[in-house]
Structure 1
């Protein structure tokens, strides 16, 4: 393809991307949206699809500067998709933990606590900076922080692969796989203000620092105390990862320790080996481990989490089998199935995992075209996957939710290895078919996986999980209800405990935080509620009942009434025990008189 044609293609891609962003920006969200995808104007998606199609093709087929432009186009398009809540003016995105993180950020901004008092203050500090210096709301500042932390993932995955193999095709393939955002699985890792998930996007920076330290052995760039620029980068990136979330820092220490272990074994066994020419990472392992221990040992929340993990392993009811069976039964009731959900959520991850697994096996037995140093670096990754996989199994036995967080980290490494694996796969196929045909086949498969990956970056009804958009109306409804409610009267929700909104509205440290009402908050009893016994649905006590558009979408559009009956739900309006005291388009709060 001629340079002029490529230039026109790039121009079309960037223009399409700009048009898509402009269309999305011109259609702000005014009420709750169950899906970021469905809420975005339809015309935006063909524009983004064109930009991504050009990016995939040029990232794999081009070399040099034009490949870099293609990678940049694709990374910008994916960043735009991840940024849709910001572009379309969402008040906030994320419920559960995200609202608690919002509360901590509000505490920092209002001086109720210092940033260093948090165990992992990086995201909260970034959100505070955007609020204080940029003049945006605290909620919007956190959404900006989410995007800022996401970008290094797209930038550093291809940079790591460039050091791993030096193959331009591997770099392009790794970039495309990074656009699938495989570490986000919507089981325990989420695209939102969720610090454990956000930390995954910084892991490639740590991996890049380690690989660069191993490969770029410059002696003229030594710093005081025997340091090199890349060893300093290892420490700084490790500290940044720790401040975003310590669990992923633990995994990073395990990765570096695995590299140390391989180096130690090689030095004990061989007198002449390519690995002997590489600098050791013993010091980096000890320093990173010590940083984590010093930071974590005095933190109460860390100790409680560790105790809960150990208790979970030795509990009588271990594993996730029962939970999976229950979820499968529920899916069947609403017309879905686990197999359908697996295809939607994990088929792309399964394909990439299979490709990488086969490649690592061939690399270990010496059946690839990698040079000696490249093979040694892949060996490091393979060695690290062993303890990381063992940790996944332990988590699965003790706290299954944590297992899927562990899977997120593992898929960061698999994303990196995928670039090298795909490049070698194309090279192998080119012995049987023309290289252009092999590259085109790889582009088609990666393009299909990319669609699946981007379809599930955000939760939506397509995976039976409504989006966690917190509209301004919902936020204001909770704020009004909690500000004007009777002191210490509990707040109840339909399938959702309102106390998280108290976190987001009032913070967690101030005098107004966790009032008696929200400290006693919870969910109404589904059986009593479905029987029309609204007065007795919360233990017979007087309470406020919050009902949001999110609740209605989840219970009736997604779950199709398997937990709450819609007719009895509508009966609230005419029941004499329930008075509506707050109401807007997305939120209603009822003052329900109990039986006591």
Structure 2
């Protein structure tokens, strides 16, 4: 009952945008993905025509099956995948140890949602983040494949019913995001290398485990076939190689994104240590425990059974191989991708950290009374839940905006795009409204101007361009700049001062969205001295 209530409560938190009746949630990449969902559902786009169609196909399926809007179907898809995460984290631990107590600890560890850091992605329509939440299902199948009896094959080339499901799940992950599938391939490849090494050198317990090498080979083939259709998929790999070369020759930078974010946080009164504590403190504890579990398995400490020790060593070795690949993404222009891989690693930390907590509770239970150990464990998990779940969604607590897309804002942009003069473009605060045009415009996108600056707002937007243009200002823009970012780039005075400014005409408003027509060309031609 505790697991059921805990799981439902945590899933309710993940489903807050749905339960609160949000039109949509996610104001950046998510809006672009929403546009692709609609394109796929209306057959303007084919499954084979874009890079990661998995989540989009699920969203269309939900929309057609349950007669939902595409916005609601996309939000339901996110909640469903979050539910898979909550289900398969404890199942992976159960498959590893076979002990119900470890399952309970892993379940509550899953409730922490450690991979959701909001540094790169989050609990919104972000395909890599959704792939990370889907990964525990694949990890569960990997763990089962490492000891499940095989039906056919010789040596490392074996196959089983579990292997078939593992392959299909790997293909599903490929359609979620090929980049996270590459992580899976490195993980499986390292497991197979270790297996072959042990198989050739000794008859240790690890040698009887089946690595399902055929699954690895098949997934590599599927990955190559899929990404070969999209030349842009190789750009990230080229950028990583370039970043490594720049570091080798002394011209590159380490953690450029972290440095930039640190400067921005400092400008609004925050700091890197503060943000690390809020976002990664609990995850770092689990990671430390998970590393200790691998070391203990290697040194054969404690009363670890051979199956659990062997699987832990396999996955631990594979993770060690993955680590340099992750670190390479901390360099140069690709440093913003590093935290995606941190989220991937935190899935492994969640499962194996929970195993470590289970072993620690068993040891402490022999030294102290079980009720006191249980009370201590519950207290620590309760603190961890509070610290972790409070940052599942962005907020000023972590100096980020909330990504709620309200009915008023969504409809405001829809009306603006529908009735605009096609000869004029749209500007915006911090960025142009290109994400909303992706979500709302089915055909040719409207013209987009560069973002208008705070200085241009203060001076008069009509002086910023040589042509007339539209300037949409949403309530979320104002809240983001004034509340979340504490007037770092735009001041409250600059945004509110648009009303009544010469050459700036309010032509549409609904309370949360206002569209201004800026007479740049006309105003400048009539200005004194021209």
Q: CA deviation at 1:352?
A: 1.2
Structure-1-length-normalised TM-score: 0.83
Secondary structure of 1:188's counterpart equals coil
Give the superposition deviation at 1:72. Answer: 2.3
SS at match of 2:462: coil
Which ranges in structure 2 are unaligned for 5 or more consecutive residues? 526-530
| Cα 1:459–1:295 shift into 2, 3 Å | same
1:568 is aligned to 494
State the Cα distance separating 1:356 from its structure 2 match: 1.7
The answer to whether 1:584 aligns with 2:510 is yes
How many residue pairs were aligned?
516
Q: Which residue of 2 aligns with 1:191?
A: 123
Residue 448 (structure 1) aligns with: 383
Matches for 1:407-426 after TM superposition, within 5 Å: 407-426=342-361
Match of 1:310 in 2: 241
Give the deviation of 1:471 after TM superposition: 0.6
Partner of 2:277: 343
Say yes or no: does 1:463 pair with 2:398: yes
Q: Note the 1:174-573 alignment, pairs <5 A.
A: 174-217=106-149, 219=151, 227-270=159-202, 272-315=203-246, 318-398=252-332, 399-507=334-442, 512-515=443-446, 517-518=447-448, 521-530=449-458, 532-537=459-464, 539-573=465-499
Q: Is the 8 A contact 1:189 1:408 kept in 2?
A: no
Other-structure match for 1:90: 22
Structure 1 position 369, deviation (Å) = 1.7
**d(CA) in 2 for partners of 1:319 and 1:190?**
26
Cα distance in 1, alignment partners of residues 253 and 22 from structure 2: 37
1:588 partner SS: strand
Distance 2:389 2:148 in 1: 35
- Using the TM superposition, give the Cα deviation of residue 326 of structure 1 relative to its aligned residue in structure 2, in angstroms: 3.9
**Cα deviation code 1:487-533 (max 9, x no counterpart):** 131211111320110000024xxxx2323x13xx3311233324x23
Measure, in 2, the Cα distance between the counterparts of 1:231 and 1:573. 64
Kept after mapping to 1: 8 A contact 2:158/2:210: no
Contact 1:356 1:418 in 2 (8 A): yes
CA offset digits 1:31-69 (Å, max 9, x no partner): xxxxxxxxxxxxxxxxxxxxxxxxxxxxxxxxxxxxxx3
Using the alignment, how far apart are the partners of 1:146 and 1:98 within structure 2?
A: 11
Map of 1:59 onto structure 2: none
Q: Distance in 2 between matches of 1:495 and 1:162?
A: 47
Give a deviation string over 1:221-249, Cα, whole Å, max 9, x none.
xxxx9742101111111011111111111
CA distance in 2, matches of 1:114, 1:325: 40
Stretches of structure 1 that go unaligned for 5 or more consecutive residues are 1-68
Separation in 1, partners of 2:387, 2:263: 25
Q: Which piece of structure 1 moves more, 321-330 or 146-155? A: 321-330
Distance 2:259 2:150 in 1: 55
Aligned positions of 1:71-150 closer than 5 A: 71-150=3-82
Alpha carbons of 1:312 and 1:127: their partners in 2 closer, same or farther (altered >3 Å)?
Answer: same
RMSD: 2.1
